[in-house]
């Protein structure tokens, strides 16, 4: 399974649309947004896709946005971290600002820990865990997303034109 990973879009639906075009060309089957979504216009670009997401430190979702997110078929994050199993792999998704995030690395029973927040790409291992930050689509010199092939563990970073 090809998983598309993005973070820190901060409401820039145009760059998210360009990232979705890339993901479509790569046959991405599931999206994971690691927070700082930035509003309804970004969710509009994600409608119709399999999505797991978390809120970031700049997301202050009012009830009307939460209702919209649910109305288009997305599940609201209900715990920190948000967990999802894909293709037999276990993921924990954070934004990266949460209390206890650093302590989770190396202690959670997952294959992958995904996060955003720093606006910097990351690909590290801690024991059997792989820690991935796709970079950012906003306030970054290079705007990047990532794809992960769960069958081969191949991670690829992709630059998105501003």
Contact call for residues 162 and 17 (beta carbons, < 8 A)? no
At 20-59, the pLDDT tens digits run 999 999 999 999 999 999 999 999 999 999 999 999 999 9
Kindly report the CATH number assigned to the domain that includes residue 44.
3.60.21.10
CA distance 55 to 71: 17
Count up the domains in the chain and report the number: 1
What pLDDT, on the 0 to 100 scale, is given for residue 87? 96
- Domain coverage including residue 52: 2-159
Which of the 8 DSSP states describes residue 111? S
Confidence (pTM): 0.96
CA distance 45 to 47: 6
Query: Averaged over 74-94, what is the pLDDT?
Result: 95
């Amino acid at each position: 399974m090809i998983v598309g990973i993005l973070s820190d879009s901060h409401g820039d639906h145009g760059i998210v649309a360009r990232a979705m075009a890339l993901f479509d060309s790569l046959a991405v089957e599931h999206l994971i947004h690691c927070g700082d979504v930035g509003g309804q216009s970004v969710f509009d670009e994600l409608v119709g896709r399999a999505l797991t997401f978390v809120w970031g430190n700049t997301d202050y979702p009012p009830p009307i946005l939460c209702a919209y997110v649910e109305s288009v078929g997305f599940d609201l994050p209900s715990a920190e971290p948000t967990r999802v199993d894909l293709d037999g792999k276990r993921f924990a998704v954070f934004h990266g600002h949460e209390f206890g995030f650093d302590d989770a690395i190396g202690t959670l029973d997952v294959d992958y820990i995904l996060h955003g927040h720093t606006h910097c790409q990351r690909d590290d291992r801690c024991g059997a865990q792989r820690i991935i930050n796709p970079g950012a689509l906003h306030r970054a010199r290079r705007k990047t997303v990532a794809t992960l092939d769960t069958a081969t563990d191949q991670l690829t970073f992709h630059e998105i034109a501003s």
